[in-house]
Amino acid sequence: MFDDVSGMTEQCAETFRGSVRDSFGESIINDVIDPIRNQIGLLSSFHEEVQRSSLDIAQVLQTARSINLDGSSPR
């Protein structure tokens, strides 16, 4: 999901950057486009971390369920 958004943002940024000819355009790049690109990168990293944590939790739950199915009683 974030790969698509990141790719589209990069493409738009490069297109815009190629047409910038003044300080106003540069300020849009520096004050708007670059922060958006940075936020997308941070969100992508956060999403990956959440996915890893979710997998870890699923593994722990699966282990707990298998222990319970082996005849051990919960305490």
pLDDT tens digits for range 17-35: 999 999 999 999 999 999 9
The number of angstroms, rounded, from the C-alpha of 50 to the middle of its chain's C-alpha atoms is 9
Q: Which residue reads 């944590």 in tokens?
A: 53
Residue range of the domain that includes 58: 2-69
Domain membership of residue 24 (yes or no) is yes
**Number of compact structural domains in the chain:** 1
pLDDT at 69 over 90: no
Say which amino acid occupies 34.
D
- Give the pLDDT mean for 56-68: 91
52, with CB counted inside 10 A (0-12, 13-18, 19+), is exposed
Entry pTM = 0.71
Domain membership of residue 75 (yes or no) is no
